[in-house]
A and B are shown apart, each in its own frame.
Chain A
Amino acid sequence: MAHAYTPGLKVSRETTLRKVRRLPLAGEVLVHLGQRVAPATIVARTEVPGDPHTVNVANILGIEPGEVPARMTVAAGEVVTRGQLIASSRGFLGLSRREARSPVDGRVEMVSGITGQVTLREHPVPVEINAYLSGVVGEVLPGEGVVVESTGALVQGIFGVGGETHGPLRVAVDDPGQPLEAHHVRDDDRGRVLVGGSLVSQEAIRKAIAVEVAALVAGGVVDQDLTDLLGRSIGVAITGHEDIPLTLLVTEGFGPMPMAPRTLQLLQALDGQTACVNGATQIRAGVLRPEIIIPYPDRPAGGEPSVCQATGLAPGTLVRIIREPAFGKLARVRELPPELVAIETEARVRVLRARLEDGAVLTVPRANVEIMEVD
């Protein structure tokens, strides 16, 4: 491929961030251009239509659908309360009376003389969105939301579950290879973003839920522990909307995997500051990776936002090997032979030769490394 793309995850000490905060439907923007916002500041609000309910009035009253409009006691557009009479009919010789009542508080939306159904819609539900980051409002999208601009550190993870959250950052381990165990989770960690090394254990997840930790970050997670947390096995890697009590983010992958030392060092340097975490992951075209952002509220936002684009492989590039047999190892590119090379499977592929941290030199398919984007 002439324009080969080697995936890379961003680990940046300082970068410019622009986050679009958009309502699901048109609504009201509550902040103004240039206003300073905190992660919890509500920036826009709207009301989404309530849930509709259909009532088969023809069946309930035992009449033909065409008779329903004449039997209604309320008209389309009128407000109704739960239990309120909406239609009635008299039976044979007027001896018995049948009634249809509203199952909800709401409004009558439609009365159908063809199907005999009445559609009732519950009252609108208010929806608010917050700023997610601390920063300034860089752009107002009238009726839709805002763009929050900030300067801060950014660490992209490889996979996460759970949505947006924020809290003070606490690195609970000293070493990238050290797993986050239950004893690392303290009783006063409520609302914090806790960082471990190679793994977050099942016991640590349980304890973190018990003390109401906001988010857990580690190099890896065992698949079964993730399944237990979610109550189901992950099928397709589209996450972020799970109904779970905390957000979980892994930086390296599944199984015990030491966190990249530079990632841990960066997080250690920012210990105690507010971290904004989003576990949402979508591994398709337009890849969305989970992230930890530590905004620097005192530094002005400015400059062009960072775009996570790979710059390409070259001798000297730091890469991580992302497939067996050397999965997880860091290496520096030594050579990029142009010709196709046969690997153990007998496939002929583009490869690179890279030196591991212990000095050993390996030949690896180019598709099996990711560039460590560190600045």
Chain B
Amino acid sequence: MANDSSPGSILATDCGSTTTKAILIDRDATGYRLVARGEAPTTVEAPFEDVTLGVRNAVGELEELTGRSLLGPDGLPSPGRPGSPGLFLSTSSAGGGLQMMVAGVIKSMTAESAQRAALGAGAIVMDTIAIDDGRRPHEKIRRIRDLRPDMIVLSGGVDGGTVTHVAQVAELIAAARPRPRLGSSFRLPVIYAGNVKAREHIRKVLGELVDLRVVANLRPVMEREELGPAREEIHHLFMEHVMAQAPGYATLSGWTPVPIMPTPGAVGLAMQSVARLHGTSVIGVDIGGATTDVFSVFGADQELFVRTVSANLGMSYSVSNVLLEAGADNVLRWLPLPVSPADLTNRIRNKMIRPTTIPQTLEELLIEQALAREALRLALEHHRTLARGLKGIQRLRHVGETFSQEATGQTHINLMELGFLVGSGGALSHAPRRMQAALMLLDAFQPEGVTRLAVDSIFMMPQLGVLWAVHPEPAAQVFERDCLVHLGTAVAPVGVGRPGERVLTVRGVLPTAGEVEEELLAGQLRVLPLAPGERADLELSPAWGFDVGAGKGRRARVGVQGGVCGLILDGRGRPLILPPDPPERRRKLVEWFLSVDAYPADLLKRQAGPPIRG
């Protein structure tokens, strides 16, 4: 139960770039629960130019839904007033969120550390400048000048090391005379987080031109990365500069005792808290209209947290870029219906220019979900490149590693180790059948072994993230009860088998089906009943050459959790290889979709063409 200092009820808003979402949380005898959610268009742009109008409208919808008066007579939150929420919190990504440029000496070392610091703080990284980034100095200078970020993080060198290289980068920044995106009369904030020995020179070069902040080095020694001080300064400057310039935020800040947090930063906090709560590795993905964020928490103590933003992978504004980056063939491979590349391209362009439309036909839904699979796949690929160990360091190897060739800088994303995969964003949260969301996650991320799947029901992770920072208990309770929709658990043996070959035998007792002994064949996708809240202990016996986590051909005993989709047995292989022949591939997709009841069967069969064999 909540302690005495916990607020009775909580009002929290997230000011997104298009929509402001408000949630109301109340405490009852069993703990904290979500009461209602309201939303309204964000009003940071002209003609309104005051974010608080959108917040009031979203809270107004909550008031209509609950019949309660949540704001005081003056239209402001009033925590002391009887019946009013005891706490008001907010996050924001309106007005483009936090847009940063980072710079370092070596692209894969200090510049990459600076990038991780910025991304972890919730920023969109517009560009990464480094001595070895392949561009000539004048090209870098022009880029810095053209970008107009909200702030720059400059790193480079270990403490006490050579000054020359980081000084060169600082001189490039000075030559560009960079200006901030908002507030033309303000000097651009630049955070210096590099070699302490270079501080004096950096002050001399940049001190007059920019608003220079000096914090501890991101890489004090080659073997260690310390992102905390730089991240804190980014948050501080986000409030002081970016938010202060955005219309209405000064007022909004006055409503809340907790600093307004960048939306992705808050989601990152929520993901880290989930990983700690469940004691497992987590990947979270939020597929939005313009960007796709991926969060991962790995490591024995869930200590490796990484966030990436794929800035131009999204389902509406950036949907054409998904097609461009993935290629039409990769999108078409997920479609059980024949669609020509030219038709696909025109449809996607029309979605780009009218981003608020929704699929009305099954065919259009399948196209959007095919695109979502590719956006998710590409976002994970991007994430792997940053979720990795430090490059360029000497690793102490133990005896067992003597003959291994593992290099430094390897990704720590291990899909076999992954325990929990959480999806969020319209394409996943609003899929008409939950099984469609499960399939998108399975096809795009291809989790290995045993993995729990969930989606965020109404995207309230930003509000819960900021709540987690101040009141962890209410946040955890609402997260488990109202935020997540547990889809179930997927079991996917690693290996590729011949069609019809046994890949796995599942033995155990399921609460509703009773005792089961099921064989999973290569190429099969099946579901066993395991409802939300149910769990089962299973024995998984993979065939020779297949692995479910205990090693090839080795039996594993696992506890699995239920969900609205159940226990999904995925025998399609890891890696998942689709038949190369288009008609055969479409037939196989229809077979899979029907076997797990992912789409309306009659409609799918009718639109897919000739009857399905078997």
Binding site for B on A (CB under 8 A): 1-3, 5, 7, 49, 51-54, 65, 109-110, 112, 114-117, 119, 121, 158-159, 222-224, 233-237, 253-255, 281, 283-286, 307, 309, 322-325, 327, 343-347, 349, 364-365, 367-368, 370
Contacts and interface: CB of A to CB of B under 8 A. Distances in A.
Given A110-B174, A285-B44, A327-B350, A53 B138 contact: yes
Contact of A49 (B44, B57, B177, B363): B177
Interface stretch (B33-41, B73-81, B534-542): B33-41
Interface stretch (B298-306, B313-321, B476-484, B521-529): B313-321
B365 to A, nearest CB: 4
B353 interface: yes
Given A54-B172, A254-B350, A115 B600 contact: no
Given A110-B175, A323-B364, A367-B356, 10 more contacts: A2-B64, A3-B57, A54-B172, A110-B174, A110-B205, A223-B349, A283-B355, A284-B317, A323-B358, A345-B359
B163 A364 contact: no
B45 interface: yes
A347 B359 CA distance: 9
A367 B324 CA distance: 26
A3 B41 contact: yes
Nearest to A122: B138
Q: Chain B at the A interface: mostly helix, strand, loop or mixed?
A: helix
Shortest 7 CB-CB distances between A and B: which pairs?
Answer: A235-B321, A286-B45, A254-B349, A346-B432, A52-B175, A255-B346, A323-B357
A122 to B, nearest CB: 10
A285 B346 contact: no
Q: Max chain B CB contacts within 10 Å: which of A309, A343, A349?
A: A343
Contacts of B57: 2-3
A198 B603 CA distance: 33
Interface residues on B, range: 35 or more
A354 B360 CA distance: 15
A234 B353 CA distance: 11
Contact of A324 (B42, B360, B430): B360
Q: Chain A at the B interface: mostly helix, strand, loop or mixed?
A: loop
B360 A343 contact: yes
A110 B171 contact: yes
B356 A65 contact: no
A323 B164 contact: no
B46 interface: yes
Contacts of A115: 164, 167-168, 171
Contact of B138 (A51, A324, A343, A345): A51
A255 B38 CA distance: 38
Contact of B47 (A5, A309, A364): A309
Given A110-B174, A285-B44, A52 B349 contact: no
B102 interface: no
A2 B176 contact: no
Q: Max chain A CB contacts within 10 Å: which of B47, B61, B360, B603?
A: B360
A285 B365 contact: no
B95 interface: yes
29 contacts: A1-B39, A2-B40, A3-B40, A3-B57, A7-B356, A53-B138, A54-B141, A109-B175, A110-B171, A114-B201, A116-B164, A233-B320, A234-B324, A235-B321, A235-B325, A254-B345, A255-B346, A283-B317, A284-B290, A285-B17, A285-B95, A285-B96, A286-B45, A323-B354, A344-B360, A345-B359, A345-B432, A347-B432, A349-B358
A225 to B, nearest CB: 11
Given A117-B168, A325-B360, A364-B360, A344 B603 contact: yes
B90 to A, nearest CB: 17
B245 interface: no
A346 B47 CA distance: 37
Given A2-B57, A285-B18, A285-B44, A253 B357 contact: no
Contact of A284 (B17, B39, B176): B17
Given A54-B138, A253-B354, A285-B45, A347 B430 contact: yes
B362 interface: yes
Given A110-B171, A284-B317, A2 B349 contact: no
